[in-house]
Amino acid sequence: MSDSDLQPIVAEGRNCWRIERADKARMIVDAADYYALLERLMADARERILLIGWDFDPRIALKPDEQGQGEPLGDYLLRLARNCPDRDIDILRWNFGGLKQLAMPRILTMIARWKLTRSISFRLDSAHPIGCSHHQKVAVFDDHLAVCGGIDVGSCRWDTRAHEDGDTHRTTPDGKAYMPWHDSTMILAGPVGNALADLGNERWQRATKKPLREISGEGESWPDDLDCDFEGVDVAISRTRSEYDGYPEIREIEQLYLDMIAGAKRFIYFENQYFTCGKIAAAIAERLNEDDPPEFVMVMPETADGWLEQVAMDAARVQLVRAVAKSRHGDRLKVYYPRTKGGESIYVHAKTAIVDDRMIRVGSANLNNRSMGLDSECDVTIDAALPANRGTEPTIRRLRESLISEHLDADPAEVARRFDASGSLIETIEGLRTGGRSLEWLDLVPPGPLDEFIAVNELLDPTSPDAMFESLTERGLKKSWHRGRDWMRRHRPFRRRKA
Would strands 184-189 and 145-149 be described as parallel, antiparallel, or unpaired? antiparallel
Neighbours of 151 (CB within 10 A): 29
- Residue 61 is predicted with a pLDDT of 96
Out of 209, 231, 253, pick the residue that ends a domain.
Answer: 231
Same domain, 219 and 242: no
Residue 176 and residue 155: Cα distance in Å, rounded? 11
In CATH, what number is assigned to the domain containing residue 142? 3.30.870.10
Domain C-terminal end among 216, 231, 246: 231
Domain membership of residue 368 as a residue range: 237-498
Shared domain check, 308 and 358: yes
pLDDT at site 319: 87
* 203 and 252 together in one domain: no
Instruction: Find, among 240, 187, 261, 252, the residue nearest to 11 by Cα.
Output: 252
Report pLDDT for 291: 96
- Which one, of 183, 455, 172, lies nearest residue 310 by Cα? 455
Which pLDDT does position 485 carry in this prediction? 79
Domain assignment of residue 10, yes or no: no
Nearest CA-CA partner of 285 in 266, 261, 269: 261
Residues 256 and 227 in one domain: no
Q: What is the pLDDT of residue 318?
A: 87
In angstroms, the CA 262 to CA 283 distance is 8
User: For residue 107, what are the contacts with CB-CB under 8 A and spacing of at least 6?
Assistant: 57, 58, 59, 74, 101
Whether residue 338 sits in one domain with residue 246: yes
Low-confidence ranges of the chain (pLDDT < 70): 1-4, 96-103, 219-220, 306-312, 445-479, 492-499
Say whether both 387 and 283 belong to one domain. Answer: yes
Cα separation, 196 vs 395, whole angstroms? 23
In a domain, 13, yes or no: no
Residues 332 and 425 in one domain: yes
Residues 249-303: pLDDT tens digits?
Answer: 999 999 999 999 999 999 999 999 999 999 999 999 999 999 999 999 999 999 8
pLDDT for the residue 459: 47
Are 349 and 405 in the same domain?
yes
